[in-house]
Amino acid sequence: MRLSASDINDLEKRYRAALINSLSGFKPANLIGTANAQGQTNLAVISSVVHLGSNPPLFGMVQRPPVVPRHTYENILETGVYTVNHIHETIHEQAHQTSARFARDESEFDATGLTPSFVDGFAAPFVAESKIRFGMRLVRDVAIEENGTRFLIGKVEWIDIAEELLAEDGYLNIEKAGSLAITGLDGYHRSEMIGRLPYAKKDQPLQRLEDPMKGFK
């Protein structure tokens, strides 16, 4: 079936949100950890972290329009830092529950039972239960004028990972960590690896890598 721009425009609001949120494919399931200047912690599910570059190590993420209080966004502006923490199957219900409407003085850590931990000198808490977490410093807050969202560009300040997840070529086996993917607004999925494919070369057949932990030479 084909929908035109006007068909899409005419869709009921929540139906359209579900459809458009599903369109781009699987999304990374992460928790963003922040604190305000007074140390009040906050935790929020986000599915929009996107790789911008490896040297320097940069990621972007989308924040919804700050027309109502947005604790994560406000905290990042206050302290300049945030953490990204993978959501695994073992914690995904607690992670999802952070999206309920908590007050400014309630911590989603307390409300969901997830455990805040800190890296010395870094104001934002990370999630102790997550096996892959990293600290980010805000580099630039880009206004997306088209709809009022913000695109936050951040630089990786530290990485904290379980060593057994790391392949010999730097590839991180996030499937082994039990990390999840999100579809639409509310679908959670585990993964099953098909394989790693080598750097593609013209006129050369692909050779699949059977053991993802080995890495390509």
Site for a second copy in 34-73 (CB under 8 A): 47-60, 62
CA distances from 200 to 19, 209, 217 (A): 33, 13, 14
Query: Rounded to the nearest whole angstrom, what is the least distance from the CB of residue 153 to a second copy in the complex?
Result: 6
Mask 122-151, x = binds a second copy (CB under 8 A)?
Answer: ----------x-x----xx-x-x-xx-x-x
- Residue from 67, 68, 69, 192 binding a second copy (CB under 8 A): 192
**Site for a second copy contains 195 (CB under 8 A):** yes
**15: helix, coil or strand?**
helix
Contact flag: residue 118 with a second copy (CB under 8 A): no
State which of positions 9-38 bind a second copy (CB under 8 A): 11-30
CB-based contact 79:122 (threshold 8 Å): no
**Residues ≥6 apart with Cβ < 8 Å to 123:** 35, 39, 79, 80, 81
- The two tokens of residue 126 are 């990370």
Nearer to a second copy, 37 or 201 (CB): 201
Output the CA torsion 143→149→153→154 (10° steps).
Answer: 130
The answer to the question of residue 207 lying near a second copy (CB under 8 A) is: no
Query: Which of 4, 37, 105, 211 lies at the binding interface for a second copy (CB under 8 A)?
Result: 4
Segment interacting with a second copy (CB under 8 A) among 34-42, 71-79, 88-96: 88-96
Determine the interface stretch with a second copy among 33-41, 68-76, 172-180 (rule: CB under 8 A). 172-180
**From the list 39, 100, 104, 128, which residue makes contact with a second copy (rule: CB under 8 A)?**
100
Which residues are 54's β-sheet partners?
A: 57
According to DSSP, residue 118 is labeled -
- Rounded CA-CA distance 151/60 in Å is 6
Could you tell me which stretch among 36-44, 69-77, 209-217 binds a second copy (CB under 8 A)? 209-217
- Which helix or strand (DSSP H or E) is residue 152 part of? strand 149-161
Which is it for strands 57-63 and 50-54: parallel, antiparallel or unpaired?
A: antiparallel
Stretch that binds a second copy, among 35-43, 68-76, 171-179 (CB under 8 A): 171-179
